[in-house]
């Protein structure tokens, strides 16, 4: 059975205030979904709830189901979700070098030798725009710049073999050239692996470049869920119309 992520009537409440309401969608293996919407519309609360990272005082209700074809004990032991966030400071362990953290998922899976795990990490870091990956892997996370740490966190999410990849404004600290390099790597990665991608951003052009389906949130609800081309050419909801108009104005 191919991977399917089903989110049904997902809600997030904080201090009895419903901040996310009735979010329902299904995603299949290989689907690349952008989750967009104004600041405060509930994207991050939704993403955290989906990956099981909600923390008190947030209360989550509804159902999240991930069906995979994991049969072997190793497959079942693989994490179900990999994620990178805007705030990458907490994604990496401050006491372990970047190189050790990035090779760890491959070494834990025992799929490669230590040397080829290091080689793979260096290749990925080069693709993510690092000129000297060996310097980066020898450092501790606190010795990286914000944008370097963000890319290291994305590398970690890509190297975890989870069937769902969630990137929540994970490229926001990056200059446009580096951001494009990262988006290209993510694009190729999800094509190769068939993972479900949930890409959260304010940047509609970037979302449209990378994703084939766009879900729009407004005031805690999903107000539109369309194939990319349809959403861009015939947006229905006022929130979507506004996002598309602003994106067009930025391009013009």
Ligand X SMILES: Nc1ncnc2c1ncn2[C@@H]1O[C@H](COP(=O)(O)OP(=O)(O)OP(=O)(O)O)[C@@H](O)[C@H]1O
Q: Are 36 and 189 in contact (CB under 8 A)?
A: no
Q: Which stretch binds ligand X (CB under 6 A): 39-47, 132-140, 225-233, 242-250?
A: 39-47
H helix runs in the chain, sequence order:
43-51, 73-77, 98-109, 114-127, 133-137, 146-159, 176-193, 204-210, 228-233, 238-251
Burial class (CB in 10 A: 0-12, 13-18, 19+), 1: exposed
Residue from 1, 39, 110, 115 touching ligand X (CB under 6 A): that is 39
11 binds ligand X (CB under 6 A): no
Query: Contacts with ligand X: how many residues (CB under 6 A)?
Result: 10
Question: Site mask, Mg ion, residues 25-54, x = CB under 5 A?
Answer: -------------------x----------
Which span (36-44, 64-72, 73-81, 148-156) binds ligand X, by CB under 6 A? 36-44
Residues 6+ apart with CB under 8 A from 67: 1, 3, 4, 6
Which does residue 29 bind out of Mg ion, ligand X, none, counting CB within 5 to 8 angstroms by kind? none
Residue nearer to ligand X on the CB measure, 19 or 223: 19
What is the widest separation between alpha-carbon atoms in the chain? 53
Minimum distance from residue 209 beta carbon to ligand X (Å): 19
The rounded distance, in Å, linking the Cα atoms of 155 and 197 is 15
Q: Which does 101 bind (CB under 5 to 8 A by kind): ligand X, Mg ion, none?
A: none
Which residues bind to ligand X, rule: CB under 6 A?
Answer: 14, 19, 37, 39-45
């Amino acid at each position: 059975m191919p991977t399917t992520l089903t989110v049904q009537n997902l809600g997030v409440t904080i201090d009895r205030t419903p901040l996310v309401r009735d979010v329902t969608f299904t995603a299949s293996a290989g689907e690349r979904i952008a989750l967009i919407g104004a600041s405060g519309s509930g994207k991050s609360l939704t993403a955290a709830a989906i990956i099981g990272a909600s923390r008190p005082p947030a209360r989550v209700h509804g159902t999240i189901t991930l069906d995979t074809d994991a049969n072997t004990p190793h497959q079942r032991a693989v994490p179900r979700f990999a994620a990178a966030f805007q705030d990458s400071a907490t994604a990496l362990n401050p006491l372990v070098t970047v190189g050790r953290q990035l090779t760890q998922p491959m070494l834990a899976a025992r799929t490669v030798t230590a040397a080829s795990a290091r080689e793979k990490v260096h290749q990925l870091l080069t693709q993510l725009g690092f000129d000297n990956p060996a310097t980066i892997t020898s450092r501790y996370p606190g010795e990286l710049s914000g944008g370097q740490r963000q890319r290291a966190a994305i590398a970690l999410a890509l190297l975890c073999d989870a069937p769902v990849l969630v990137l929540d404004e994970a490229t926001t600290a990056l200059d446009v050239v580096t951001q494009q390099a990262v988006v290209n790597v993510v694009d190729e990665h999800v094509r190769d692996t068939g993972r479900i991608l949930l890409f959260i951003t304010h940047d509609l052009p970037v979302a449209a470049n990378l994703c084939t389906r766009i879900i729009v949130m407004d005031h805690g609800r999903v107000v539109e869920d369309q194939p990319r081309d349809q959403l861009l050419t015939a947006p229905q909801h006022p929130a979507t119309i506004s996002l598309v108009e602003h994106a067009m104005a930025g391009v013009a």
